[in-house]
A and B are shown apart, each in its own frame.
Chain A
Amino acid sequence: MNDLIFLIINGITVASIYGLIAVAVSITWSALGLLNLSYGFIFSFAGYGAWLAERHIYGEPIFVMFMGIAAGVIGGVLVCLLVFIPVHDKPNFTIRGMIGTLAVSLIGGQILLQNFGPKAKLLPEFFGYGKIKIMDVVLTADKIGIIFSSIIMLTIVVRWMKSSRRGLEIRAMMMNPHAASIVGIGVRKTGIYVMAVTGAMTGLSAALLSQTYYLSPFSGLTPMIKGVSIALMGGLGSVRGAVIAAIILGFNEALTTKFLGGRYVLMTQFALIIIVLIIRPRGIAGILDKAREA
């Protein structure tokens, strides 16, 4: 029982990181109609930003984490300027945008490889090495920190989207981009906000994941694909759905590891996603009519 709880906590830890990327993918798709497949690049970019900050500026873990978020913002805005703004009014925008983000991630990955080499880098532990024991379950500071910082980030983003003027603009774009542009909400300006916020989320997830695992030019790929799958299962465009899907997939990962073995995690995960999508083609929280028509 104990190791099941341990695995579930593990699953939730990983899911909270992937959930950040999932929410980022989800918001980008629903607000901008951009299928951003360059989050892998933004992830590595933010990770290397944090690593550089730790090396050259200041080694305090919290500072490094915030530098990772800042680098994520820069990466997101970069993708917005390179792909979204020139392409958003062209015909076949969705496929163009997707290929553009792929091209950016191809070029960016190679540039990172050129500058930093293929050797993996490690970020410092942000949350120290403390441990708490609650009813026979040992919780490391690392895991608690990851879960809480993701939840804080997500809460800030959701509050910001709910209560601020910019958030109102983004939500208007999600509901109906044409009407939003008619009432004077600038598509390009909103694009920059959206990409900055989602870049910050990716940057946080990069900083959090790179301290546990490692950082390499292409290490963002797996988190991105996982994030995309979670976003897909939760329903593109829905933050709530993405959170539910992340939790479900985290549980799934824990249970599969426990009863079938780690090799079958992806198989059960995709079986689950396919089943959910066959029942609800727009994901758990996606509503057919309200989903964005690309």
Chain B
Amino acid sequence: MSDIKTKKRKTWKNPLAVWGAKGGNHEVPTPEWKNPHQIWRDTKAFKVPTTKIGRFHYEYKSSNHGEKIWNRLRWWPTRRTILWTQGVYNRKSLKPEKIRKDKRPIFWFLSLLALAIMPFILPDGFKNSLLTAGGIFGIYASINLCWTLVIGTAGIFSLATYAIVGMSAFLTTWLSINLGLPWWMLPMIGMFVGLAFGVIIALPALRLDGFYYGLLTLGLNELCRVFITTSHAFGAASGGLYGADTFVDDNWAPMTQTLVQYYSGFALLIAALFLFRFVDGKRLGRILKLAPEKKEAFAEASGVNYKRARVTVFLISSIALGFIGGFYAAYYRGSAFDIFSFHTVIMGLAMITIGGIGRADGAVAGTLIIVVLDRVLVELGPYRYIIIGLIMMFTILFLKNGLFGIRKQFRDWRDKKKGEARSSRLERGGEMLPEQATEMDNKDEIYRKRYDKMQREFLKTLICDEIIEEHKQKPLGQHSEALERVCYYFRRGAMNDKYVVKCEVPFKKYKIMALSGVRGRSPRLVEDKIYDTVEAAYHGLFLRRIQDLMEA
């Protein structure tokens, strides 16, 4: 208000001047005033800083031919499409578009393709060590996929996975040495060994729950280790039992041997992925998804025999683990005692937790990370175990469900932030809170209040000593723009509590009253002050209205 005199005085053109009203000049001087559109723009402006992230707007959408039906490829002979595609219409252009609802098959295909062509693109210097590690990766990833079936799908917290593999490997090696079995028999026999051990280990699982079972299987693992290392039949002295028949011919070139091992490990991984998909994604998996931990009673009440499904999954994966054990024996010509050690269990748990428990991609990616750290970066020495331990700590401290849970975790976090931002800009809605707005029947009222608030904000900026002085000089007639806008607002105010001038004695006594706004209820007197002239009363009324405006 005080700096108003320093501003340049403007003039206001009176649009009503053409009618020739008395005193209706073409132009009158007016104090500096703010553009009324500005407050509208300010209110409408989106003040929260936004970055270009989003769930749908930046998702790739391929164009769709409007006339031709999509070219849907299907897995023969099922009706299942190769990629889950959904047709949508672009919200702006209304063009039909296709989005891939689930891109994981694409990533799986690309990563497996990369593994398949790995031997041809690796530089010669690293080829041998990397391919050896690749074979190990295939075997461990298959074991971990079966383990994921047990822990994730069946929900049985078993730590005896490597014990089954190891027992199968040792027994088949022993049989191969003593009975001269060919290599292709080993996985077959391993399946029976796995089944036998699966039955033995599954028995307590029916009675015990959760971590009691985990601790028991940890002990069983130790039992197997002690049994194998102390028994005479399994070569107690040499650190392992070797001498089984193998599919790798010693007479081949070293690179051929490595390649055969690599691709056999790769084939095992593919087989394990298929097993995972057909157990986890089909009937058994669906049944068990209905019976997660602590909701078993509900599943049972729904008629789901979840115990039977759990044991079935456990036995299936035990058979698979036995198969892998036999394969392991044929791959390495035997097995080392290492497979029973606590260290192996820790490494296996690291593999499945880093990627995310219960997911195939998590198991495979976690195995890849650990195998690369453990087998490829050997020159790091013991530090690699410290790194693995730190990765495990990071995973449990900061991630909800491993690396592959990051996507969901990030989206949850973003939604939370979005909600916070939304609640922080409630003032955009004007006078009314959202929960009040839903209860208001007349929605126009919401917008009126919002507009009213904006207008009052704007008019407050116009009030200055100059317009008060101008109004005192001439309460009626042509005013400057600022005063005219303020007066227009006051005149069209609501009837309840609207100030009016009451004439007590004409030309002598005037008082200010307020209308009740209700039919039949008389106005009330607001002050006892008596004005001598009607102009003074007009100005007193104007001052009261300004006071109300500034206080609101």
A-side interface residues toward B, CB under 8 Å?
A: 35, 37, 40, 82-83, 86-87, 90-91, 94-100, 102-107, 109-111, 113-114, 221-222, 225, 228-229, 231-232, 236, 263, 266-267, 270, 273-274, 277-278, 281-282, 294
Q: Are B211 and A294 in contact (CB under 8 A)?
A: yes
**Minimum CB distance partner of B151 in chain A:** A95
Pick the contact of A270: B209, B220, B386, B390 (CB < 8 A): B220
Which residues of the partner chain A approach B396 to less than 8 Å between Cβ atoms?
83, 87, 90, 96-97, 99-100, 103
Known pairs A87-B396, A99-B349, A104-B389. 15 more at Cβ < 8 A?
A83-B396, A90-B396, A98-B214, A99-B353, A103-B350, A103-B393, A107-B390, A107-B393, A110-B383, A114-B382, A266-B223, A266-B226, A270-B220, A274-B216, A278-B204
Query: B157, B219, B220, B383: which has the most chain A beta carbons within 10 Å?
Result: B219
Which residues of the partner chain B approach A100 to less than 8 Å between Cβ atoms?
392-393, 396-397
B209: min CB distance to chain A, Å: 7
CB neighbors of A among B349-386 (8 A): 349-350, 353, 357, 382-383, 385-386
Query: B157, B220, B392, B396: which has the most chain A beta carbons within 10 Å?
Result: B396
Pick the contact of B210: A109, A228, A267, A294 (CB < 8 A): A294
Q: Please name 28 pairs of A and B residues whose Cβ atoms are closer than 8 Å in the assembled complex, sorted by A.
A: A35-B214, A40-B342, A87-B396, A87-B397, A95-B157, A96-B396, A97-B396, A98-B211, A99-B392, A100-B396, A100-B397, A103-B392, A103-B393, A104-B389, A106-B350, A107-B393, A109-B385, A110-B386, A225-B218, A225-B219, A231-B215, A263-B227, A267-B227, A270-B219, A270-B220, A274-B204, A277-B212, A281-B212
Which residues of the partner chain A approach B218 to less than 8 Å between Cβ atoms?
37, 225, 228
Which residues of the partner chain B approach A111 to less than 8 Å between Cβ atoms?
386
**Minimum CB distance partner of A229 in chain B:** B219
Q: Is the interface of B mostly helix, strand, loop or mixed?
A: helix
Cα A278 to Cα B212 with chains together (Å): 12
Q: Are B212 and A232 in contact (CB under 8 A)?
A: yes
Q: Are B346 and A232 in contact (CB under 8 A)?
A: no
Q: Are B346 and A106 in contact (CB under 8 A)?
A: yes
Instruction: Report if A232-B382 is in contact (Cβ < 8 Å); known contacts: A35-B211, A106-B389, A277-B212.
Output: no
Q: Are B204 and A277 in contact (CB under 8 A)?
A: yes
Q: Are B209 and A106 in contact (CB under 8 A)?
A: no
**Interface status of B388 (Cβ within 8 A of chain A):** yes
Cα A107 to Cα B382 with chains together (Å): 9
**Minimum CB distance partner of B207 in chain A:** A281
A42: min CB distance to chain B, Å: 15
**Minimum CB distance partner of B397 in chain A:** A86
Cα A98 to Cα B218 with chains together (Å): 13
**Interface status of B9 (Cβ within 8 A of chain A):** no
A70: min CB distance to chain B, Å: 25
Which residues of the partner chain A approach B207 to less than 8 Å between Cβ atoms?
277-278, 281
Cα A270 to Cα B223 with chains together (Å): 8
Query: B207, B389, B395: which has the most chain A beta carbons within 10 Å?
Result: B389
CB neighbors of A among B195-225 (8 A): 203-204, 207-212, 214-216, 218-220, 222-223
Cα A109 to Cα B207 with chains together (Å): 34
**Minimum CB distance partner of A263 in chain B:** B230
**Interface status of B544 (Cβ within 8 A of chain A):** no
Q: Are B386 and A107 in contact (CB under 8 A)?
A: yes
B222: min CB distance to chain A, Å: 5
Cα A270 to Cα B160 with chains together (Å): 14
Cα A94 to Cα B214 with chains together (Å): 12
Q: Are B386 and A277 in contact (CB under 8 A)?
A: no
